[in-house]
Amino acid sequence: MTRHALSVSQSPRDPAFVQDPYPFYAEMHRASPVFFWEDYGMWCVAGYDQVNALLRDRRLGRENRWGAPLNPVEGRGHLADFDRIESGSLLEREPPAHTRLRTLVNRAFVSRSVERLRPRIAALATELAAALPRDQAFDLLPGFATPIPLTVICELLGVPVARGHDLLAWSHAMCEMYVPHRSRETEERANKASADFGAFLMAHIEEHRHTGADDLLSALIAVRDAGEKLSDAELISTCVLLLNAGHEATVHQTGNAVKTVLDQGGDPRRFFATSEQAADTVEEALRFDAPLHMFTRYAYNPFDLGPVTLRPGEQVALLLGAANRDPSAFEDPHAFRPGRADQKNVSFGAGLHFCIGAPLARLEMQQSLTVLFDTFPALEIEAPPRYRNSYHFHGLESLMVRAG
């Protein structure tokens, strides 16, 4: 696997790696937590302390200040719609633009605002659990894990839940852009999804601005119409980001968490007997099998990474899934231990780009998993679950279970 101490070849599409990247991480922790990943052509960091520090370091950032990387043969014109949405995204901006955009949406996602959604999330989970089959195997992802975060983010933002199928299709197509060695067809699908998503939102925004609804979209429209802090392009990009991020990672993490809990054996309700235990279990599930494994940042100035100095414009990959299993930061890191004293996972990131939806995602998982296991205390996995062939976004293709 290694040609020398700091250069590593490991295909992110290798089936064994996709299904279980943790042995690779363990070897990197032993050999060199900072290494050059040949398949990505960039330096990577796997150690917890350094990942945590680099997420907060203002000498690195998400904003590409050198223009979109060009394909020397084809260029990037076929990705104009995708690039337009991504370039205006809160996730891809740095201060002062990031500060302005995050301030506009932050109020809806702070813990005290999210807490008001607890009864709605519990009711929705109860309704969905009651509709699941008792006498046959079923896929938990479309039947339970997906509808909860999708419905909640649509209702919170002010987008029709009835368009959920389209939103999922657009989101999935756009997220495929982050798969390594993607095809031209994948890029064209992502660009078309971006164009369709943007057109839908523009039409919906024009209808919605006259409804007087009390939701986040109405608040953002009011800011845009005041002409001071939000452009049309930023409004569209912000809505796309919130809708995509508001469900994609939570669906993956819910599936991963259910798999992890059921793998422990015994009565799963013991992990959710109290609200504190539910919170501890969700936090450990986030550490143990995170939904996002790689987060890249650009160096804005020459940056000393240890074994190498990054040049301005070079990217570094922070391996969140590896950091969460670092034996120098976590006791017995490959053991699932809710309530562990050293809980400090970086699954939601850190610093300026700490996930704005973290309080909502935590609440959704705490409530939904409590309801699920109360309803199905003998739930069991029907067929060996497999992870999707997408290293960055670490989630299951399906999770076939049976009531038991």
DSSP per-residue codes, 204-266: HHHHHTTT---SHHHHHHHHHHHTSS--HHHHHHHHHHHHHHTTHHHHHHHHHHHHHHHHT-S
Percentage of residues of the chain with pLDDT beyond 90: 78
Q: What's the whole-number average pLDDT of the chain?
A: 92
In whole angstroms, give the CA distance from residue 213 to residue 155: 11
Mean pLDDT is lowest, of 4-13, 71-80, 112-121, 159-168, for 71-80
Q: 72 pLDDT band (50/70/90 cuts)?
A: very low
Give the model's pLDDT for residue 2.
40
Q: Judge whether 224 and 235 are in contact, CB under 8 Å.
A: yes
Q: 67 pLDDT band (50/70/90 cuts)?
A: low
Provide the β-strand partners of residue 304.
Answer: 309
Give the model's pLDDT for residue 69.
53
In whole angstroms, give the CA distance from residue 178 to residue 355: 18
Q: 176 pLDDT band (50/70/90 cuts)?
A: confident
Does 51 score more than 90 pLDDT?
A: yes
**Distance of alpha carbon 126 from the chain centroid:** 25
**pLDDT (average), residues 151-157:** 93
**Tokens 């659990």 correspond to what residue?**
129
Give the model's pLDDT for residue 252.
95
| 396: CB partners within 8 A, 6+ apart | 141, 252, 255, 256, 259, 385, 386, 387, 388
**pLDDT (average), residues 261-265:** 97
Q: 64 pLDDT band (50/70/90 cuts)?
A: confident
| Token duo for residue 302 | 């020459």
**pLDDT (average), residues 27-42:** 94
Q: If 0-12 CB within 10 Å is exposed, 13-18 middle and 19+ buried, where does residue 126 land?
A: middle
The CATH architecture assigned to 2-66+76-402 reads Orthogonal Bundle (1.10)
Q: Which residue has the higher pLDDT, 180 or 345?
A: 345
Which of 69-73, 212-216, 229-233, 238-242 shows the highest mean pLDDT?
238-242
Give the model's pLDDT for residue 73.
43
Provide the β-strand partners of residue 60.
Answer: 299
**pLDDT (average), residues 146-173:** 93
Does 110 score more than 90 pLDDT?
A: no
Does 66 score more than 50 pLDDT?
A: yes
Q: CA triplet 58, 60, 62: central angle to 5 degrees?
A: 110
